[in-house]
Amino acid sequence: MVTIQVFDPALCCSTGVCSANVDQNLITFAADADWVARQGGRVERFNLAQQPLAFAENVAVKEFLERSGQEALPLVLVDGKVALAGRYPRRAELARWAGISVPIAQAAPSGECCSGGRCC
């Protein structure tokens, strides 16, 4: 089974302390990752602020940080190899790496930004 590892930037408290605006991409990705897991795929996430050792001990990740800095995260590795950097993967991409087929209807990520007419 393929292992997808996502190295997240130092996300601080879910209170959104990092930014006054909540990042919709994060929420969408959390849902997509969950979907992959339920389909039998394996997605592991590591947060720079909480598991810095995981970043330090992985050569590819460490070198990426040195070269491009933490602003370039998230970094996605598939079976240890760099697959994507600088944004979160879409559901279709996750499915492809994990070898899951995606029905067309579900392929579009839940991209509604505004719930209840309010901007996020």
Partner 1 sequence: MLFLEHAPAFLFFTGKGGVGKTSLACATAVRLAEEGKRVLLVSTDPASNVGQVFGVTIGNSGKAIDEVPGLSALEIDPQAAAQAYRDRIVGPVRGVLPDAVVKGIEEQLSGACTTEIAAFDEFTALLTDRALLGGYDHIIFDTAPTGHTIRLLQLPGAWSGFLETGKGDASCLGPLAGLEKQRTQYHDAVQALSDPERTRLVLVARAQQSALGEAARTHSELAGIGLARQHLVVNGVLDENDIAGDPLAAAIFRRERSAVAAMPDELRDLPVDHVPLKAFNLVGVPALRALLSDQTLPSAVATVTRLPQAPDLASLVDDMAVESHGLIMLMGKGGVGKTTLAAAIAVELASRGHPVHLTTSDPAAHLSETLHGTIGNLEVSRIDPRAETERYRAHVLEVKGSKLDAQGRAMLEEDLRSPCTEEIAVFQAFSRIIRDAGKKFVVMDTAPTGHTLLLLDATGAYHREIARQMGTNGPHFTTPMMQLQNPARTKVLIVTLAETTPVLEAAGLQADLRRAGIEPWAWIVNNSLAFARPVSPLLKVRAANEVAQIDVVASVHARRWAVAPLQAEEPVGIERLRQLARHEQPIIEEGRHVRTM
Compute the least distance from the CB of residue 102 to partner 1, in Å. Answer: 19
- In the complex with partner 1, the residue whose CB is nearer, 101 or 115, is 115
In the set 25, 54, 93, 96, which binds partner 1 (CB under 8 A)? 54
Tokens of 18: 């990092």
In the set 50, 79, 86, 106, which binds partner 1 (CB under 8 A)? 50
63 Cβ contact list (under 8 Å, min separation 6):
none
In the set 1, 38, 59, 71, which binds partner 1 (CB under 8 A)? 71
- Going by C-alpha positions, the residue among 90, 63, 86 that lies closest to residue 74 is 86
What are the E-state strand segments in 1-120?
Answer: 3-8, 42-47, 75-78, 81-85
Distance, in Å, from the CA atom of 76 to the CA atom of 111, rounded to the nearest integer, reads 21
In the set 11, 78, 84, 98, which binds partner 1 (CB under 8 A)? 11
Cα-atom radius of gyration of the chain, to the nearest Å?
A: 15
Binding region for partner 1 (CB under 8 A): 8, 10-20, 22, 24, 26-27, 30-31, 33-34, 44-56, 62, 65-66, 69-71, 115-116, 118, 120
